[in-house]
Amino acid sequence: MFLVNAEEAGSRVAVIEGEVRVQQGEVTKKLLPGEQVSTNPIMQTVPVIQEIQWSRNALAHLALRQQALLAPVEVAAPPVAPTQFEIASVRPCPPFGSGARGVGGARGGGGGGAPASSPGTLLLSCGPFGNTLDQLIRQAYLTYANGQRNNQFRNPPVSIEGGPRWLTTDRFEVNAKAEGNPSIEMMRGPMLQALL
């Protein structure tokens, strides 16, 4: 699966899944997922994720690309950290500005939803901007999907289609404890996937 972008300055080929061989004159290049080549060196390189954001299948394409990129890593070095939390609590946040107190006595809407971490503990507290189900899905399946921070998915230009209206409005507090000492990235990625 690949895309071709023809512009006035030249053409660009980018690969989403599989392998594409591109020939320019006598030079042949093999492109793998996420790689691209252009016919003119002055053409701006655009990340593949940005190139496919218009597609209604963008999430599926990204998942295929990520799977292809992660497969060799998973085969060579499977994660040794736990994949599930030992105990977890997911609670609705009080309405912003309600004055209700959350975990640790924080007022509803305070804290910004920033993660707090200690060895084996993940706390995503209530805040005015964080922890909607939409954001939790993005964290678990894009930003931290492989147990590492994937910066290309920090603010992904993809949408999650379907689901109830509250998917993007209702906020949740997540408080979870794991055995051992998994990294925050592991807890916000594969372990949050299992919890969701």
Give residue limits of the domains in the chain: 2-76, 87-195
Report how far residue 188's alpha carbon sits from residue 145's, in angstroms, rounded to the nearest whole number: 8
Q: What H or E segment, with its residue span, contains residue 162?
A: none
Question: 45 by DSSP, 3-state: which?
Answer: coil
Residues 6+ apart with CB under 8 A from 97: 108, 109
Is residue 147 a contact partner of residue 81, using CB atoms and an 8 Å limit?
A: yes
Sign of the CA dihedral with 196 first, then 70, 155, and 184 last: positive
The pair phi, psi for residue 190, each rounded to 5°, is -55, -40
Q: DSSP class of residue 11? A: E
Q: Mean pLDDT highest for which of 61-65, 118-122, 151-155, 190-194?
A: 190-194
* End-to-end Cα, the chain, rounded Å: 29
Q: 3-class SS at 18? A: coil
CA distance 34 to 15: 6
Percent of the chain scoring above 90 in pLDDT: 15
How far is 175 from 33, CA to CA, in rounded Å? 36
- Count of residues making up the chain: 196
pLDDT, tens digit, for every residue of 70-115? 544 333 344 455 678 999 999 999 876 655 444 444 433 334 445 5
pLDDT tens sequence across 140-173:
888 888 888 877 655 555 667 788 888 888 999 9
- For residue 54, give the 3-state DSSP assignment: coil
Query: Structure pTM?
Result: 0.51
Provide the token pair at 180. 């051992």
What is the reported pLDDT for 43? 73
Strand partners, 24: 27
